[in-house]
């Protein structure tokens, strides 16, 4: 089977592409490289031991997207492309809505026109907003979202559900990611955002490398055990394996399923910092700063459905995440 990975040069997409290649799928990567490097697809090939085809295309341009499908037969799509920074989405809401929603609309139109029936969508735990109870199950209300980024993910879920209602041959799995961190064990691919990172782990590794002075901890007055936000961190390789499991589930079925991908364990910002320092031996200077707009106190997954439906569960630990994120950060410095 040939699978198109949109955003396949990005953090999650590159690990998904590598996992697909290692599992025997042929892979086509489409990316506009707006927050990734054109060198990533080659690194994916080296990490997996097999090459992916790669095209530069912006999915908001339907002709460019259709051009990717016209190069050869595509059996399914894993749609990872999109803007993804929660805080930035509060500042640039229209850019987030335009980019993330138009690209999915275009994808659904092109898939339908070309008879492509299998779709895995990168959604986010952010859709749950500020939840009243934990852990989060897929049937809980996913509204209102805490930020425009989350709203774009929820709207995209709805678009896919409506597309499947109108076309009973479409088979989709909406994967609600908790917080992916870490890097490929090879050290060849990892999280490499352009500019100053928005997400916690890449910020920590930049501080560890001495490129940034200190970490700002966004708020220590949340109603959590140490006052800092709690998230359900998951190794990106486990997350990528979850996509392959979802794809296998899709084949031969129709309809839409929504599945959480997390570990089911909460970890605070300070706990992640302690784990990183213990695993790497590197001290991370930090300062307590004000809360970041769009953040919620705690997110933690109920992971029962992922196992029941897909036979998938996370296997790697918080220490693995810290070790691999640090190995990748050090390796990417030595490339300069
Ligand atoms: C984690 C915690 C911050 C930076 C989003 C999306 C999710 C996934 C990952 C896509 C929060 C705190 C952060 C810093 C800090 N998206 N923090 N100082 O916002 O939970 O999740 O990104 O790929 O779907 O929703 O992740 O890593 O930005 O933040 O204190 O410099 O770290 O406040 O509590 P977030 P994050």
pLDDT higher than threshold 80 for residue 23: yes
The tens digit of pLDDT for each residue in 248-260 reads 999 999 999 999 9
Rg (CA), the chain: 19
Distance from the CA of 111 to the center of ligand 1, in angstroms?
A: 32
Query: How much of the chain, in percent, has pLDDT values that exceed 70?
Result: 99
Residue 314 phi/psi, 5-degree rounding, is -70, 145
Confidence label for 334 from pLDDT (cuts 50, 70 and 90): low
Instruction: Choose among 140, 171, 183: nearest CA to 327.
Output: 183
The chain-wide mean pLDDT, for the chain, equals 96
The tens digit of pLDDT for each residue in 134-157 reads 999 999 988 888 889 999 999 999
Q: Is 11 annotated in the active site?
A: no
pLDDT higher than threshold 80 for residue 193: no
The tens digit of pLDDT for each residue in 70-83 reads 999 999 999 999 99
Distance from the CA of 64 to the center of ligand 1, in angstroms?
A: 32
Q: Note the pLDDT of residue 194.
A: 72
Mapped onto helix, strand or coil, the DSSP state of residue 79 is strand
Query: How much of the chain, in percent, has pLDDT values that exceed 90?
Result: 91
Q: Cα(first)–Cα(last) distance of the chain, in Å? A: 37
Q: Note the pLDDT of residue 293.
A: 84
Distance from the CA of 116 to the center of ligand 1, in angstroms?
A: 33
Ligand 1 atom closest to Cα of residue 153 = 24
Spacing of C-alpha 72 from chain mean position: 26
- Can you tell me the mean pLDDT for 190-200? 86
Q: Note the pLDDT of residue 336.
A: 42
Q: Where are the alpha helices (DSSP H) in 167-303?
A: 200-208, 236-250, 269-280
Q: Whose CA is nearest to atom 5 of ligand 1?
A: 86
In a mutational test of the pocket of ligand 1, which residue from 199, 231, 232, 293 has the highest number of ligand atoms less than 8 Å from its CB?
Answer: 199
Annotated catalytic residue, options 149, 222, 249, 328: 149
Which of 14-28, 86-100, 184-198, 319-333 is predicted with the least confidence, judged by mean pLDDT?
Answer: 184-198
The tens digit of pLDDT for each residue in 35-44 reads 899 999 999 9
Residues 89/16, Cβ–Cβ less than 8 Å: no
Q: Whose CA is nearest to atom 32 of ligand 1?
A: 200
This prediction has a pTM of 0.96
Buried b (16+ CB within 10 A) or exposed e, 112-140: eeeebbbbbbbbbbbbbbebeebbbebee
Instruction: Choose among 60, 61, 65, 80: nearest CA to 10.
Output: 80
Q: Note the pLDDT of residue 289.
A: 98
In a mutational test of the pocket of ligand 1, which residue from 269, 276, 287, 293 has the highest number of ligand atoms less than 8 Å from its CB?
Answer: 269
pLDDT higher than threshold 80 for residue 295: yes
Q: Whose CA is nearest to atom 34 of ligand 1?
A: 229
- Of the two residues 332 and 121, the one the predictor is more confident about is 121
Instruction: Choose among 14, 116, 6: nearest CA to 56.
Output: 6
Burial class (CB within 10 angstroms; exposed 0-12, middle 13-18, buried 19+) of 93: middle
Q: Note the pLDDT of residue 142.
A: 86
pLDDT higher than threshold 50 for residue 201: yes
Instruction: Choose among 22, 38, 23, 319: nearest CA to 186.
Output: 22
Distance CA 286, CA 270 (A): 10
C-alpha distance from residue 115 to each of 109, 168, 171 (Å) = 10, 12, 12
CB atoms within 10 A of CB 38: 11
Q: Which residues contact 308 (CB under 8 A, 6 or more apart)?
A: none
Distance CA 8, CA 290 (A): 34
Distance from the CA of 199 to the center of ligand 1, in angstroms?
A: 5
Q: Where are the alpha helices (DSSP H) in the chain?
A: 11-22, 40-48, 62-70, 86-91, 93-114, 148-166, 200-208, 236-250, 269-280, 304-310, 318-334
Distance from the CA of 85 to the center of ligand 1, in angstroms?
A: 8
Q: Whose CA is nearest to atom 23 of ligand 1?
A: 84
Spacing of C-alpha 30 from chain mean position: 16
Ligand 1 atom closest to Cα of residue 291 = 33
Q: Note the pLDDT of residue 335.
A: 56
Q: Note the pLDDT of residue 280.
A: 98
Residues 213/285, Cβ–Cβ less than 8 Å: yes
Q: Note the pLDDT of residue 333.
A: 78
Ligand 1 atom closest to Cα of residue 299 = 20
Residues framing ligand 1 (Cβ under 6 A): 84, 86, 124-126, 177, 179, 198-200, 203, 215-218, 229, 231, 269, 292, 295
- Can you tell me the mean pLDDT for 212-230? 98
Paired sense of beta strands 230-231 and 267-268, if any: antiparallel
The tens digit of pLDDT for each residue in 32-65 reads 999 899 999 999 999 999 999 999 999 999 999 9
């Amino acid at each position: 089977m040939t699978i198109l990975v949109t955003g396949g040069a990005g953090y999650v997409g590159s690990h998904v592409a590598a996992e697909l290649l290692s599992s025997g799928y042929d892979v086509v990567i489409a990316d506009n490289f707006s927050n990734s490097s054109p060198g990533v697809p080659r690194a994916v090939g080296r990490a997996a031991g097999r090459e992916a085809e790669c095209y530069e295309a912006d999915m908001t341009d339907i002709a460019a997207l259709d051009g990717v499908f016209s190069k050869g037969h595509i059996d399914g799509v894993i749609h990872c492309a999109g803007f993804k920074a929660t805080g930035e989405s509060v500042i640039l809401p229209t850019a987030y809505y335009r980019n993330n929603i138009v690209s999915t609309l275009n994808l659904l139109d092109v898939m339908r026109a070309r008879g492509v029936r299998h779709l895995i969508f990168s959604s986010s735990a952010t859709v749950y907003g500020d939840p009243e109870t934990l852990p989060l199950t897929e049937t809980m209300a996913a509204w209102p979202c805490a930020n425009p980024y989350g709203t774009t993910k929820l709207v995209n879920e709805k678009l896919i559900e409506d597309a499947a209602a109108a076309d009973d041959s479409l088979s989709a799995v909406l994967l609600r990611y908790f917080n992916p961190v870490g890097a490929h064990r090879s050290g060849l691919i990892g999280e490499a955002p352009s500019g100053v990172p928005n997400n916690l782990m890449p910020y920590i590794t930049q501080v560890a490398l001495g490129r940034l002075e200190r970490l700002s901890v966004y708020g220590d007055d949340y109603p959590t055990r140490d006052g800092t936000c709690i998230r359900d961190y998951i190794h990106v390789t486990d997350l990528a394996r979850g996509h392959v499991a979802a794809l296998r589930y899709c084949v031969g079925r129709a309809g839409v399923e929504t599945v959480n991908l997390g570990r089911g364990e909460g970890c605070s910002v300070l706990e992640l910092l302690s784990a990183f320092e213990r695993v790497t031996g590197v001290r991370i200077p930090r300062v307590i700063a004000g809360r970041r707009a769009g953040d919620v106190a705690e997110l933690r997954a109920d992971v029962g459905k992922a196992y029941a439906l897909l036979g998938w569960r996370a296997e790697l630990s918080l220490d693995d995440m810290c070790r691999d994120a640090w190995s990748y950060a050090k390796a990417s410095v030595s490339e300069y």
